Amino acid sequence: MARITIDPFTRIEGHLRIDVEIEDGKVKDAWTTGTLFRGFEIILKGRDPRDACHITQRICGVCPTSHGHASSMSMDDAFKIKVPANGRIIRNIIEGAQFVHSHILWFYHLNALDYVDVVSALSAQPAEASLKKVQAKLKSFVDSGQLGPFANAYWGHPAYKLPPEVNLIAVAHYLEALEMQAKAAQVSALFGGRMPMTMTSPPGGVTHVPTVDDLKNYLFRVKELQDWIDNVFIADLMAIAPFYLDAAGVGKGPANFLSWGVFEDASFDPKKRLLPRGAIFAADFPTVHEARAVDVLEYTGHSWYKDSKPLNPAVGVTDPEYTEYDPDKKYTWAKAPRLQGKPMEVGALARMVVAYASGQPTAKKLIDDTLAKIGHPGQPQVLFGIIGRIAARALECKMVADSMYQWGMDLIENIKKGNTAVYADYQIPDKAQGIGLWEAPRGALGHWIDVEDKKIKNYQCVVPTTWNVCPRDDNGVRGPIEEALIGTEVADAEKPLEVMRVVHSFDPCLACTVHVIHPESNRIMDFKVS
């Protein structure tokens, strides 16, 4: 038996450690460790509630908008605010731009190098001048000995399956995707004032009143993104997928899915959001259950917090107490949230599965068409794992970008009719409690606020990666990433590419040396992973 420690885990946001035990070429056990404590809940205590939507955006530089929106929504709930129609649409637009930005970033720059052998692209024989130019640039990197962002990976690993020509196309699109990320960020800044850390979505709605000219500029940029997503992003997904269909089922995890829902419709009913609220449990798939905040408990028996009974976030406590790393006791800063006592996978796959099972027509068509193209018609369960998480990000990116165009058109119609209200005024009560349940690109996001004497008495966040990267609960049940790693085949323990694929498929948000320890000799080898 060999034990592998990857610390810090790279191509993610933040600081993550992964430990796995490998026996007979497969992962037998796994532990996920969040290695950095930040304590935003503690920072917020005693502050003006209106500060929260700005401070909580600093939780993450990739998905700040979602935190801002969830925070403002918790105050909309607490202060009984009805957001105007245009405020709702503009929030959707700003959120949509972040989703598109994040999905492109993850697919091409955080995840693709687990499947695309960059060095193999040098042996391709491209006919197009543009690809020849990319290949020449790549060759200059290799010849210089400085591969830049492509350095220190496991090039040549047998798990890479793409032919050189496809690898080269993927590298070219990797570079294009840098530009498309920027375009998505520009769209967000048009209405949010800046990106990251937008400024215009406080409790009550938004503070930016767009003109028709603003919206024409917006629609032009969104159309650019739509065209690229349709003709490059989705095309890349379908070009790469056939080579990795044997990975279907790898990294499945508990197959329980949670979506709080995202992108409001006019009813403000979370079950009618573009991507609706709901929970699916493996035991009775595809039944969609009601997802309720009251059914959330956070366990800390294996986390570096003072021991307490499992608590709902509405009365949650964040009281840090670091002891030592001990996989049998406490080994992470992440708490262990559960819904109805179950570990829940969150993220694009969860959202799309809930939408599919709920009968959301766009999601259903996108998934059914994709299943048919890969030879698994009517079998959505084949997507439960690393392949499904990749497909879901691309399909959801298309779905959101297409909706963004329609939201812009809706906003123009409202403005032409003289409907320009974007914000509802309010008063902060002496005492109030509220919940903002929303989605970040990485998954289900909840903010709980408790106000007393017009100040924040308590504030709790349960973020997407807390759901996915959480440790065992007090009953010893593994978190989703830990469970997804069990049974993963590892061809070479000194090059654990397969482990990286499973973890990256969840897009954990927690920062590049890999330590592989041989238990017989305790010999430590250092690997830098791109």
Q: Is residue 483 part of a domain?
A: no
Could you tell me if 246 and 266 lie in one domain?
A: no
HSE-CB for 335 with a 13 A CA cutoff: 28
Distance CA 146, CA 119 (A): 12
Could you tell me if 242 and 149 lie in one domain?
A: yes
Block residue for tokens 């297409």: 402
Q: How many CB atoms lie within 10 A of CB 227?
A: 11
Could you tell me if 321 and 272 lie in one domain?
A: yes
Distance CA 421, CA 413 (A): 13
Number of domains in the chain: 3
Could you tell me if 135 and 182 lie in one domain?
A: yes
Could you tell me if 271 and 326 lie in one domain?
A: yes
Distance CA 466, CA 81 (A): 29
User: Three-class SS string for 59-84?
Assistant: HCCCCHHHHHHHHHHHHHHHCCCCCC
Q: Is residue 435 part of a domain?
A: yes
Task: Please report which helix (H) or strand (E) contains residue 485, including its range.
Answer: helix 480-485
CB 293 within 8 A of CB 437: yes
Could you tell me if 404 and 499 lie in one domain?
A: no
DSSP letter, residue 278: E
Could you tell me if 125 and 216 lie in one domain?
A: yes
Model pLDDT, residue 140 = 84
Model pLDDT, residue 148 = 66
Rounded to the nearest 5°, which phi and psi values hold at 119? -65, -35
Model pLDDT, residue 512 = 20
Q: Is residue 470 part of a domain?
A: yes
DSSP letter, residue 401: H
Could you tell me if 363 and 275 lie in one domain?
A: yes
Model pLDDT, residue 516 = 31
Could you tell me if 365 and 305 lie in one domain?
A: yes
Task: Please report which helix (H) or strand (E) contains residue 400, including its range.
Answer: helix 386-416
Q: Is residue 60 part of a domain?
A: no
Q: Is residue 485 part of a domain?
A: no
Of 13, 9, 12, whose CA–CA distance to 33 is shortest?
A: 9
Model pLDDT, residue 144 = 78
Q: Is residue 72 part of a domain?
A: no
Could you tell me if 194 and 330 lie in one domain?
A: no
Q: Is residue 25 part of a domain?
A: yes
Block residue for tokens 């048009």: 190
Domain that holds residue 315: 37-52+252-369+427-477
Distance CA 457, CA 52 (A): 12
Residue 143's CATH number: 1.10.645.10
Could you tell me if 302 and 177 lie in one domain?
A: no
Q: Is residue 10 part of a domain?
A: yes
Distance CA 257, CA 400 (A): 20
Q: How many CB atoms lie within 10 A of CB 130?
A: 10
Distance CA 255, CA 285 (A): 9
Q: Which residues of 234-247 are buried (b: 16+ CB within 10 A; e: fewer)?
A: bebbeebbeebeeb
Q: Which residues of the chain have pLDDT under 70?
A: 146-149, 151-152, 510-530
Q: Which amino acid belongs to residue 504?
A: H
Could you tell me if 274 and 129 lie in one domain?
A: no
